[in-house]
Amino acid sequence: MKAARVHERGKIVIEEVPVPEVGEKEVLIAVHRVGICGTDVGVVGGHVSATYPVTLGHEYSGVVAKLGSPRLTPHLKEGDPVVSSGGWGCGECELCRQGMDLYCTNRRSLGRNVDGCMAEYIKVDYRSVSKLPPAISLDEAQNIVNIGCSVRAVRKLDLAKIKTAAVIGPGNAGLMILQLLKMGGVERVVMAGTRDFRLEMARRFGADEVVNIRREDPVKRIRGWFPHGVDAVCESSGTTGGLQSAFDVVRSNGSVVVFSIITEKMQEFDPSFLYLKEPIIYGSKGAAGAFPEAIRLLEEKKLQILPMITHRFPLAETAKAFQVFADKVADALRIVIDVRP
């Protein structure tokens, strides 16, 4: 089968590899749609930890090709449309046994330390697989990991008490968080970002105000609208600048959810606001526990997913797809690789 793999930093190759053999606790999935995520770009670039050589990708949809043990997966059969989480714990360590497998230090992460989904087939742990209801298309389902991550992030907040919010970073996940905040009844949501076309999309998805931080100081602008700051800020830009803005625009005793992996170091950090403002700061990692709700949201057509897909490429053009993702000038948002037509 064909797979998009990385052997050395900065280089994606399409190569012929054997179809994975499934063990008893594994499921083989024929991959249909894959979305490119910033984490995949980090794997190629070397700033997200990964074990080379590795097949890229962790956000996808497909159909069951083979069950390692039908006895373990009575709810699945060959041909079922499915998605899986982006990884799973070892199942044996203390954290895994306590149900905290997302913190497992021996975690298997697709496209990082086990082969991912930018290939014709992928094998995954049977516990990571979720069956899709018929109402959900494979085009929509490719984004399930991000929807789950966004659901988990927004769950940190007590939405009944939040009237105003800011989202920093109108990427795929930021736009999902925006939709979830509006759906949860937040009256005014501001989106801050660097690209006008993404900010326009944020408007279409319900943002009450948008600010382009290339042209305006987001802190001044948001403070202009909300002199005491906003009740909650979700940082999804993955930058230290975004994080600093989040600390600067959250109101006293408000909440900040740090949703993204920020790989750069903070040059300056003034911690006095922790005392002065008493903010509540949450981290949110992955989609643990949020898949059922993510599937329900898709099934009930509550989220706008398809308008986010701006580009599509065949598997053979994966390297080109990554170039478009990295090109900050291209109006790219969700780039999908069509592994099968």
Q: Does 96 bind Zn ion (CB under 5 A)?
A: yes
Q: Does 89 bind Zn ion (CB under 5 A)?
A: yes
Nearer to Zn ion, 231 or 235 (CB): 235
Identify residues 164-223 at the interface with Zn ion (CB under 5 A). none
Packed helices 144-155 and 172-183: angle between N→C axes, nearest 10 degrees:
50
Q: To the nearest whole angstrom, how small is the minimum distance from the Cβ of residue 187 to Zn ion?
A: 30
Please answer whether residues 82 and 121 qualify as being in contact, where contact means their C-beta atoms are separated by less than 8 angstroms. Answer: no
Q: Does 319 bind Zn ion (CB under 5 A)?
A: no
Q: What is the DSSP string of 106-151?
A: T-EEBTTTB--SSBSEEEEEGGGEEEPPTTS-HHHHTTHHHHHHHH
Q: To the nearest whole angstrom, how small is the minimum distance from the Cβ of residue 220 to Zn ion?
A: 32
Q: To the nearest whole angstrom, how small is the minimum distance from the Cβ of residue 300 to Zn ion?
A: 23
Nearer to Zn ion, 229 or 238 (CB): 238
Q: Does 93 bind Zn ion (CB under 5 A)?
A: yes
Nearer to Zn ion, 37 or 44 (CB): 37
How is residue 303 written in tokens? 């989220």
Residues 6+ apart with CB under 8 A from 165: 181, 186, 188, 189, 190, 230, 231, 232, 233, 234
Q: To the nearest whole angstrom, how small is the minimum distance from the Cβ of residue 101 to Zn ion?
A: 6
- Residue 127 amino acid letter: R
Q: Does 243 bind Zn ion (CB under 5 A)?
A: no
Identify residues 30-49 at the interface with Zn ion (CB under 5 A). 37, 39
Please answer whether residues 194 and 214 qualify as being in contact, where contact means their C-beta atoms are separated by less than 8 angstroms. Answer: yes
Distance, in Å, from the CA atom of 61 to the CA atom of 77, rounded to the nearest integer, reads 16
Distance, in Å, from the CA atom of 119 to the CA atom of 316, rounded to the nearest integer, reads 10
Residue 251: Cβ within 10 Å count: 17
Q: To the nearest whole angstrom, how small is the minimum distance from the Cβ of residue 330 to Zn ion?
A: 19
Nearer to Zn ion, 247 or 259 (CB): 259
Please answer whether residues 298 and 291 qualify as being in contact, where contact means their C-beta atoms are separated by less than 8 angstroms. Answer: no
Q: How many residues sit close enough to Zn ion to count as binding (CB under 5 A)? A: 7
Nearer to Zn ion, 39 or 164 (CB): 39
Nearer to Zn ion, 218 or 286 (CB): 286
Q: Does 102 bind Zn ion (CB under 5 A)?
A: no
Q: To the nearest whole angstrom, how small is the minimum distance from the Cβ of residue 103 to Zn ion?
A: 8
Q: For the stretch 318-337, what's the b/e string if a residue is b when 16 or more beta carbons lie within 10 angstroms of its beta carbon?
A: beebbebbeeeeeebbbbbb
Q: To the nearest whole angstrom, how small is the minimum distance from the Cβ of residue 194 to Zn ion?
A: 20
Binding site for Zn ion (CB under 5 A): 37, 39, 89-90, 93, 96, 104
